[in-house]
Amino acid sequence: MGFLTRESVHSTTLVRGNEKFADLTAALKRRGLPFRPDLKYCKAFLTTNSGDVDTVVDNMEEKHFLFTRTEYPRLSGDNFDADRSQCIPDSYETYAEMEGDWKEIKANLCVEYLRENKGLKLPQKWESCRLRFEEVISRGDDPKLEAL
């Protein structure tokens, strides 16, 4: 009967961490996104046993699109520090207090860009909403109300 040692646990953790890192960086590269160890999505994926690589990459792609192609920074009250490539909140409100507002802004922008992509390639996360969007439009309903 074998016993777990600190060394064997540490070694297994390192191997798993390296595999997750390799999976994440490869998936980001396929979508043309850089690895960003400072972002919560990457940190959480690499340091916990939760989440999957596709969800992390979808979220990273959406954030990148929001901050580089839309009015999201202005609408959400966030600034984007291009030198450090990170979001710096202007507000003293907590993340939890602002999260609902940010989700509403993202939903409205998603609807706007699904309606007219302005010649841009949309994030996969948004493209996955296209069928539902078209269904709502075909019924004559307001997609902004449905998105919220």
Taking CB atoms within 8 Å and a gap of at least 24, the contacts of 99-107 are: 101/76, 102/76, 104/148, 105/72, 105/75, 105/76, 106/62, 106/66, 106/72, 107/144, 107/147, 107/148
Cα–Cα distance, 132 to 146 (Å, whole number):
9
Q: What pLDDT sits at residue 5?
A: 59
What values do phi and psi take at 35, rounded to 5? -75, 130
Q: Residue 73: what pLDDT?
A: 86
Tens of pLDDT, residue by residue over 40-54, are 888 888 888 778 999
Listed as ranges, residues in the chain with pLDDT below 70 are 1-15, 78-96, 145-148
| Rg of the chain on CA atoms, in Å | 19
The answer to whether 66 and 109 are in contact (CB under 8 A) is yes
